[in-house]
Amino acid sequence: MDFKEMIMKIFDQNRQIALCAVGTTVALLGFGVVYKYMRPEKKLTRVGVVTQLLVHPMKSGKVVSVETAECLRMGLKHGELRDRHWLVITEDGHMVTGRQQPRLVLVSLTCEGGQLCLNGPQMEELRVPLHQPNNAVMDCRVFSIDVQGRDCGDDVSDWLTRYLESDKTIRLVHFEPHLKAQRPSEKNPLYPKDEKVAYPDAAPIMLMSEASVRDLNTRLDSDVTVFQFRPSIVVSDCEAFTEDTWDHIQIGQVEMKRVVGCGRCVFTTVDPETGVITRKEPLDTLKNYRLTDPKQKTAPILGQYYSVKKTGVLHVGEPVYTVTY
């Protein structure tokens, strides 16, 4: 093969490579155009507006109302406060909630300047370091699920034990990202298998409408507020119980999918202002007309549990949209 033939052969091979590359590029562009025009169109329908964002740092503790919050896969976050990331337990790791100790709802847990602050009626304020990495990691149980938490120390334990006037030692643990979390799918297969939460009963987010509570109040002798039901997100400008139908919602850039209705228990009979439990209302009335989920035969539904599909920041006053395709 002479020099001229060799040059022509190289040119021919390069031309084939170039043609192949051009063909591949055209095909990819074609697929992109087809996908763009063939994929379902996302439709947003305004259904309400966010009126309250509520963080409950300690399970069964006092609520913290905020104007803005990060909405993460494991729930709401405001500064150092994360929803249901602190848990009251006995020394053997069993959870203690307002069901057994209703006065827990009066305990305020906040974070200031790297310190954990506890306040309660007739108690001195307690401040301890927020992060205590040398403290023990304790094995705990939230209902039937094994979880872990970092012990908050003896000073906190003494404070809570005295406040609750308990004959058993009470401790407080804090969830950290590397510790064992709950997987809601272990209790209910409707939850995504990759879903993880710290210490809530079930899901990272619980949403309900003001209208649903107003409807309930028309049936009660004494009014209750949304605080009695401990939601994460409160929505107005909608009809009562329409949240039952919001399967996929968007608030700002945050997207959530409904999993299941929130089945109500005796904890709803604890007054969040007094810490007194009646074990009757509003639960008895709810059972008369809100046994709407056959899978929860004795638990009336008020509010809906959601999984977070797209994280972001939420603001009070933002519109709520349903998403359909």
Are 304 and 206 contacting, i.e. CB atoms less than 8 angstroms apart?
Answer: yes
pLDDT in tens, 245-294: 999 999 999 999 999 999 999 999 999 999 999 999 999 999 999 999 88
Q: pLDDT of 145-172, one tens digit each? A: 999 999 999 999 999 999 999 999 999 9
Taking alpha carbons only, the member of 206, 185, 180 closest to residue 195 is 185
Give the pTM. Answer: 0.88
* Residue 241 burial (C-beta neighbours within 10 Å; 0-12, 13-18, 19+): buried
CB-based contacts of 157: which residues, under 8 Å, 6+ apart? 151, 169, 170, 171, 172
Helix (H, G, I), strand (E, B) or coil at 267: helix
| DSSP notation for 93-133 | SBB--TTT-GGGGG-EEEEETTEEEEE-TT---EEEES--T
Q: Of residues 271 and 25, which shows the higher confidence score? A: 271
Nearest to 171 by CA among 197, 194, 203, 137: 137
